[in-house]
Amino acid sequence: MTGNSESVEAFRTRARVWLADNMPRLDADTPLLLGDDEAHWKRARELQRRLYAGGFAGICFPEEYGGLGLPQPYQEAFSEEAWGYEMPLVLNIPTFSICCATLLDVGTEEQKREHIGAAIRGDEVLVQFLSEPGGGSDLAGVRTRADRDGDMWVINGAKIWSTFAFAADYALCLARTDADQPKHQGLTMFLMPTNAVGVTLNRIRMVDGTREFCEEFFDNVVLPDSAVVGEVNGGWTVASRQMFHERNAVGGGSPYVSGHGEPPTKLKPGFLDIVRASGRTAEPDVRTTVGGIMALATVQTQLVSRVSAGIVEGRLPPAAASLLRLFSAEFLEAEADAKIRVAGAATGIAAGPEPDATALAGVAYLVRQGGSLGGGTTEMSRNIVSERLLGMPREHAPDRGVPFNQVTQGSR
């Protein structure tokens, strides 16, 4: 463990030496392990255990739960030094920046010690069971039901779009525990083992061929009272905090994310790699496009710094994380569009074991819209900004204050 007596620069220097001695470097020839690959998850756990053994895991988590208890600048310094090294990035979202962060805020002492500590050690992966097949973006409208049976709970229902659920040990699962209350008031959050009896999990193949998302079906899944996160019928409070952490993480502002992303590889080229591969670097229009994307990247970096500091210091409310979430989506879409414009017709050809960088731009474009959906849609982010930051009137909701069992479902 390390204490606050060590300066950020001293911590950075120590991290630089340790990384060089203990973590494998990445280069353009490093094979790309995808998040939907079982081997990637095994490797991520191994790397996380290596970080923990070296004293560089859970930098911003409290010491009593297995972390170092250091402020965000220490994590940022480590992440900067870790660029170019193989890191367990797949554990950043949702395990650390969303699930563990939520447990830190609202979990019981036992839940914090057991699960945050296990994740930091590389022993557990946590995910979210939130969205439902008929729910769209209406998270509070969940129909998965949890019925009390003595000191146990029996859960029935279904979830979908659960990122990396196939690789997880536990999930934060939102269920309805009182249908007589309005939809935001009769919910409870549970910490569910993903291998519990009655859980059926299927993987979903996306248009680009990846399978990181899953759907789950619950058939009389039994959980103890100790699985409740927060208060019974207080699940919306937990989910709201969870959504704050998700928007903050997706937007790039979470203090619990270690590492800033992998350097480009042959199978995962960066924007400038695609520009160079196109052979159009001398064209004025292309250079203007590159300048625009680089400017947006700079704005994003500065926005993350400003908003994150504002939230931590209390100058901005937690809802400001939606600014990061919204800008991140806009930037990702702009970059994907720019790649297509620069690469041109070559984006339609991605055959062969080592496709050209311009061809891979086309594959990435297939999931371009994902940035506007993960962590809540951009429309939701705009609503939050308008209502909670700018003070504009809330939009009309016909089911507000109505008991959930009286709310019209589907086309009825």
Reported as half-sphere exposure (CB side, CA atoms, 13 A), residue 239 has a value of 27
Give the residue extent of every domain in the chain.
8-124, 128-233, 264-389
pLDDT, position 1: 44
pLDDT at 412: 43
- Could you tell me the CATH superfamily of domain 8-124? Acyl-CoA dehydrogenase/oxidase, N-terminal domain (1.10.540.10)
Q: Which pLDDT tens digit goes with each residue over 314-368?
A: 999 988 888 988 998 899 899 989 998 888 877 776 555 566 777 778 877 887 8
Identify the pLDDT of residue 305: 87
Interval 262-271: pLDDT, tens = 655 555 678 8
pLDDT at 216: 98
Q: What is the mean pLDDT of the chain?
A: 89
User: Which residues, given as ranges, of the chain have pLDDT below 50?
Assistant: 1-2, 412
Q: What pLDDT score was predicted for residue 350?
A: 55
Right CATH for 264-389 from 3.40.50.300, 1.20.140.10, 3.40.50.720, 3.30.70.580: 1.20.140.10
pLDDT confidence of residue 35: 66
Domain 128-233 sits in CATH at 2.40.110.10
